[in-house]
Amino acid sequence: MIAFATSDDWTAAQVQVTVGGTDVNTFGADETDASTAMDALVAWANANGTFGGAVFAWSFDRQTAEEAMQLTLTCDTSMSLSFDAEAQTLLGFSASYSSTNSAAAPNSAAGTIYGQRVAERGYLIASDRDADAGGDGATETMVAAWTPRRPTLATAGGWVLPARVHEVVKAAASPRTARVYDGTSWRTFQVGGVTIERVGGALFRASFVARAEV
């Protein structure tokens, strides 16, 4: 599950929330990926006294047709929502929801990839061969003791994955950053180049160079 920051104008997107009273959330200039935007929306709604202490949360699921994330916003009491055109495009929600506890987006969120699994891979190769002038376990002459490999973020998917990755990378903001869900929390990485390879049959793997965690 990867959410890339996109080059879209997220500050133009607004979400109107009604729980007792009504208020409107406008996304900030640094809320430019689906994960960060949903975190910000939920934090804003939970802290907003207009809604009388209502508790909001968000979740995501896999949209297999696009190998993308499909979002859901929930509330512990009945809510009504209105998403403007920009918010609909970026987050995938419908224009409005009335008197519901759960609003599920019918479309995928912009900049998102939902593969079968996201793995962070970074490793070193060690040589345990002896050198003429070295002790046991030293490396041979002209052989590096440790050979670092660039860490990568890798995910796998079906036939749709290559096209989805191409679409997302093309629309990503520069410099390229992405939030990755590791199973328990979201982590943010600076992302470099991408490699797509066919693993076998209808299974593909996309590997992104992870330059740094931020």
pLDDT along the chain (214 residues), means of 10: 95 97 97 98 97 97 92 98 98 98 97 80 45 43 49 86 94 92 88 89 88 76
Provide the pLDDT for residue 120.
61
Provide the pLDDT for residue 146.
45
Q: What is the pLDDT of residues 107-125, one digit of tens each?
A: 999 999 998 766 665 543 3
For residue 35, give the DSSP letter. H
